Structure 1
Amino acid sequence: MLKGRTAVVTGGSRGIGRAVVERLARDGANVVFNYAQRTEAAQDVVRSVEEAGGSVRAVRLDLAEHGAAEQLMDVAAQHFGDLDILVNNAALNFTVTPLAETDDDTFDRVMTVNARTTFLTLRYAARHMRDDGRIVSISSLNTVRPAPGNAPYAASKGAVEQLTLVAAQELGPRGITVNTVSPGATDTELLRGTNPPEVLETVAGMTPLRRLGEPADVADVVAFLAGPDGRWITGQNIRATGGIG
């Protein structure tokens, strides 16, 4: 379905990002993803994809550093050709902290990785993506159901959603679709690292399906939008939340 197409996934070594990398590769795409620190986790993703017959390349880059986003995109072009699919998944969120106690550095780093990186990769795609490409950015249910202590994260994801809307208008004439997927509570290290078990249990009970999401649940939605069946959907925010929101 995606054979011969080049895909870039930011933050692909674990959680939703890993599930997206594995799914796009399974569908035939040549996938490049970055990771910041966890070399062993990234190598495990590469091993998993290659054992399944897929094509993947991992690049160690901290997207908070100047020029890293563009470098990631250039690596993909050098190894697999021009960009066809972009998935903006990389995200930072720190421990739940009230506004009054949130320091400047935390705000700046969250906005840099979550919002600025999305802007930079979208700009690269606007300049270099082949016609009829696909862009999917991962947002969050927090933009419509804000929670205390998540101000920088929610603000950064709100920016991602607005960038998506503008890019969809600008790139649509070239057949490029641009969408957002907003997961609900998905069972990842990020979720468990910022929420106590009792909160996760409560959230799971709020969904009609009575469970947390799995990374593959979100990856399947991303794959639909990134594939040929998603050709008529653009400028949308798909809430993969298990029925919340």
Structure 2
Amino acid sequence: MNSLKNRTAIITGSARGLGKAIAERYAALGANVVINYSRDHASAEEVVKNIKAMKANVIAVKADVTRAEEVKYLFGETKKAFGTVDIVVANAGIELIQVPVTEFTEEQFDRVFNINVKGAYFTLQQAARDIADGGRIIYISSSTTTSPVPGMAVYGGSKATPKYLVEILAKEIGHRKVTVNSIIPGPVENTGVFVEMAKEDPFYKELLNGSPMGRLTSVQDVADVAEFFASDLSGFVSGQHLLVNGASIY
């Protein structure tokens, strides 16, 4: 079993969904965990409660990743509490689906790119500045960047841009033995738009029919890969993008 004892991990957008699953996995492996949220204080506190029950060290920090000064504050509070930053997971993001190219609005474009691109860029930038030598930086991307899906031009485009930054950053700070990688999940069950989507929805059925294994990606599937990228096992894996979708066409 991997151990993250004495390591400190920041996971942005970790009050629910993928971020929550990764935070709780890292806590189970002994890491000090920093829960980040922008609005949902109640959900963040619930995750903190879960992690404390594991006897792991945890704090929650409210910070909007679209504001560079708040990202800096997030890292500052982490170092104040634990003295170091060893693992950073840039997970915070929002979705926009089933909106054709001819129909998305400027407001929709700005909101998605502000969170998914600007937020990821400034999180990765601050991680590069503050992470300890030998640290791990992980970006959560989307399978829409590898399998273009109609109606997801804005969302897929916003998730593709930081993947390029991952490759650049891996080269720029590799001399510090810091690895930088991205995880590319397929559609993830019970997160984001799939929290409210009925199993009878034609779009859900289409995604399910495209999966050879007959299911969507789970949060634990993604947490498994996040564990690998955070562990010593991936010490010579950097600048890479790992697709986690069970060979689905999506």
- Superposition TM-score, scaled by structure 1 size: 0.94
Note the 1:1-245 alignment, pairs <5 A: 1-192=3-194, 197-245=201-249
Structure 1: give runs of 5+ residues left out of the alignment: none
For 1:141 and 1:80, locate their aligned partners in 2 and report how far apart those are by CA, in whole Å: 34
Instruction: Give yes or no for contact 1:73–1:121 (8 Å, CA) kept in 2.
Output: no
Q: Match of 2:180, SS?
A: strand
Q: Deviations over 1:172-203 (max 9, x none)?
A: 11100000000001113313168663322331
For residues 12 and 206 of structure 1, the distance between their equivalents in structure 2, rounded to whole angstroms, comes to 29
Distance 2:30 2:44 in 1: 19
Find the aligned partners of 1:102 and 1:213 in 2 and give their Cα distance.
27
Contact 1:95 1:194 in 2 (8 A): no
Q: C-alpha distance in 1, partners of 2:234/2:129?
A: 22
Task: Tell me the distance in 2 between the aligned counterparts of 1:204 and 1:219.
Answer: 21
Residues 104-123 of structure 1: CA deviation (Å, up to 9, x unaligned): 22212211211112211222
Per-residue CA distance 1:11-66 (angstroms, 9 max, x = gap): 00111110000001111111112112222211111111111112211122232345
Aligned amino acid, residue 77 of structure 1 = K
Query: How many pairs does the alignment contain?
Result: 245
SS in 1 for 2:44: helix
1:54 to 1:127, Cα distance in 2 relative to 1, 3 A = same
Moved over 6 A (4+): none
CA distance in 2: counterparts of 1:5 and 1:212, whole angstroms: 31
Q: Measure how far apart 1:171 and its partner are.
A: 1.1
Paired with 1:61 and 1:188, the residues of 2 have a C-alpha distance of 24
Question: Shift of residue 101 of structure 1?
Answer: 2.2
1:62-98 CA-to-partner distances (Å, cap 9, x unmatched) read: 3234522222111111111121100010001235322
How large is the RMSD of aligned CA atoms in angstroms? Answer: 1.6
Identity among equivalent pairs (%): 35
Deviates more, 1:228-237 or 1:61-70: 61-70
Contact 1:8 1:31 in 2 (8 A): yes
**How far did 1:241 drift?**
0.7
Structure 2 CA distance, aligned partners of 1:28 and 1:193? 29
Alignment-mate amino acid for residue 227 of structure 2: A
How many angstroms apart in 1 are the aligned matches of 2:204 and 2:62?
31
State the alpha-carbon separation in 2 of the partners of residues 36 and 159 from structure 1: 22
